[in-house]
Amino acid sequence: MKGTNGIPIRLQYNKLGKIRWIGHRDVARAMERAFRVVQLPLAFTEGFSPHPKVSFGLALSTGHESVAEYLDLVLADDVDVEMLPESITAALPDGMAVVGAARLVDRAPALQEAVTAVTWRVELAPGTATRERIASGLAAPTLETMRRRKGRDVLEDVRPVLRSIHMCDDTTVDMELHTQPRSAKPSEVLAAIGGLTELRALRTHQWIERDGTRLEPLAADTRPHASLVRAS
């Protein structure tokens, strides 16, 4: 997190099951409530309306699940980073769990700037997908689909977003999508390929790519042995 005074920390968390139907703002509220319950020593902004220094990564669409969500926060005091996943998870609703924590280097780039690609596992409606159709979509120069922009439907080419896609079995595909300079939902890419219908989508990875190296956010911009920050 750029320009922070305090101890920057990155958390990885899951969002699975029925809780996939709550939106991004509700996820943020659940996290902030958990931080209060465990009395996490959050650092706050200055000014007339101070707020905790918490920065979420890429928003997850309502209805989607994930084992690879991330947020950055800044602490005013040292804590035992190894204990953070267990203590925060105990204060979260069912279906959400913090699964990793690491101390960041100072002035680490924000997650929304750093993440360049995401990986999905998508369950499709039976009988809608074939390997030939998937291969044809990957080979196509353009993939146009209708997207909602500022209250109106717009025809857009999502082919630049699609990095790779392959079938795991008759009803499941793995796909990797770019997030910069723009992104798309898995359902939008699948619809453009040829009317493929998404039943369920799980975000499995987020990637930070630098100089030909791919890193997951918990391994990028973090300090060696980050979990060994001394308890206060």
Which tens digits make up the pLDDT trace of 21-53?
A: 999 999 999 999 999 999 999 999 887 888 899
CA atoms of 156 and 32, how far apart (whole Å):
36
Which tens digits make up the pLDDT trace of 51-60?
A: 899 999 999 9
Percent of the chain exceeding pLDDT 90 equals 74
CATH code assigned at 57: 3.30.70.580
Which has more confidence, 182 or 176? 176
Q: Are residues 95 and 42 in the same domain?
A: yes
- Counting the structural domains of the chain, the total is 2
Q: Are residues 19 and 59 in the same domain?
A: yes
* Domain region containing 52: 7-112+222-228
Question: pLDDT at residue 61 above 50?
Answer: yes
pTM: 0.89
Residue type, 81: V
Question: pLDDT at residue 230 above 80?
Answer: no
For residues 138 and 159, is the Cβ–Cβ distance under 8 A?
no
Q: Are residues 97 and 141 in the same domain?
A: no
Residue type, 75: L
Q: Are residues 104 and 26 in the same domain?
A: yes
Q: Are residues 16 and 44 in the same domain?
A: yes
Domain assignment present for residue 117? The answer is no
Q: Are residues 41 and 104 in the same domain?
A: yes
**3-state class (DSSP) for residue 129:** coil
Strand (E) or helix (H) holding 190: helix 186-194
Question: pLDDT at residue 2 above 60?
Answer: no
Q: Are residues 11 and 38 in the same domain?
A: yes
Q: Are residues 28 and 92 in the same domain?
A: yes
**3-state class (DSSP) for residue 50:** coil
CA atoms of 117 and 208, how far apart (whole Å):
7
| pLDDT recorded at residue 1 | 58
Q: Are residues 54 and 145 in the same domain?
A: no
Q: Are residues 46 and 130 in the same domain?
A: no
Q: Are residues 181 and 136 in the same domain?
A: yes
CA-wise closest residue to 174 among 103, 218, 89, 117 = 117
Reply yes or no: is the peptide bond before residue 181 cis, omega within 30 of 0. Answer: yes
